[in-house]
Structure 1
Amino acid sequence: MYDPVKRWGALVGEVKSTGRLAMTLGGLGLVAGALMIAGSRHWLPTTLPSFPPPPEAGEAQPAPHGPVHDARPGQPARRIAEDLIAPPPLDVAGIERIEARPPLGELGLASPPKTPMPKDWRETLLYRPVAISSAVFEAMGRRVIVSGAVDIGPARTCSFDDAIWPCGQRARAAFNAWLRGRALKCVLPPDGDRFVIAASCTLGKQDVGAWLVANGWAMAAPGGTYGKAESVARGAQMGIFGPPQ
């Protein structure tokens, strides 16, 4: 028959015996640790290793005094002072100055400086311009030569494949047809000066000289900015460089 009182007593006895076993094992561990600490002085060194102090900032270190071997072919090793760097011997007579290589392209070339305009010159609108030749026009009592363009006179004739035609008159007519009486903006001197003058002009955002040269109705001035435009017009046989029109 099951007796709960006896069962409870047996459990209490088992717990007590387990606690005594744990206490015994803990005591043995403490004793072993104490013995290891006591004997560690025989295993570990009693003095710490010494290291040289680090060099201070800016203090130069002595260079090793071992032999220096030069691995370069044909160059014997030379003994020099530790605080001196001697350049190798150089024969000045063997130096030759050569010309600089040409530029790889025209993009990197500097553009010629522009001629500064006088301070009293201002941008002026010239209304109802009329071309009197391929690169000269009159407006508001002024006669203006388009800067950078070489004029083709009205009396000039051109030849193309044995055909002679009045290219000067045709160039003037083309200039007038392009203007159509629209106002030009030119950089001009004060109103008191009414002499014939070469000036750069624009029609809206279009450069007048660039349009004339690019379409073959004028030639580029030597050393000016329209040289490439004339080359293109000649190659395409435009304007005075082409057939009769």
Structure 2
Amino acid sequence: MLKSEMNDKWRQWKHDLKRAFDPSKTEEEIASTLIDDRVDPGQYRALVHHWFSEEGQKISGINKQNRAKLEDTHCMGTKSLPVVIDEKKKKNKGVLPERHVVYIDTRTRKNGTIVNDKAADVIDEIKKHVSEGETSQASQSKQGSTFWKDDLLAKVQGPENEKRGRVRCLGKIPPAKKAKASSSTDADLHQEVAQIKGLLTNVLKLMQNHLPEEAVQNILQLAAEQVPDASSKPNDQNNSGSQSS
């Protein structure tokens, strides 16, 4: 989550800097005018050069085309969704705004018009459900992390694709925790056995290189006596240990 948030902030930061981009100006004119003193002049000049490069122009064109294909756009401008939600939460005295309320506010311009027909249809459907007395307060009151799965906006727009890591009109969500693989699987056991065999082989070689043969045989014999018989019961092993003590 933290890494993803940092990537978003970095991308937004570069977007804010590109406000100074003016196709009517030359690369040198823009690069020589530093709009933010927090930016290193050398890095800013390199960034401006990227904007004017063939690759930069190609990427910009692709992004504009993809943006034009979006049907469900918003009118928040440069204000991020978390900021919008936080402002509404403060106005509601700490109560998180419902998603359908956020949807309506972020698709309605200051003059009261809706951003496009797609959003207008969704808002009409939302208002229809609200007029019929349906709200998502009951699901939000659960204070669960997935209250949005059955709220009013979910009824209107359908379920979310959780694999994206985002929820409409809510923002990013932490990825679902994957169940840890059991350490008792056959593959893990085979690997552990192989590691133990390798370790014992190395230990045996070291003993043979540094100890007399008779001493090595005595150690191996004592070790074999300590290995429990697979057919013996734990109680039998404990009793034999207590009798010998």
Structures share a fold, TM > 0.5?
Answer: no
Relative contact order higher in (CA < 8 Å, ≥ 6 apart): 1
More strand by share: 1
Higher helix share: 2
Compute the TM-score of the two structures, normalised by the length of structure 2: 0.19
Superposition TM-score, scaled by structure 1 size: 0.19
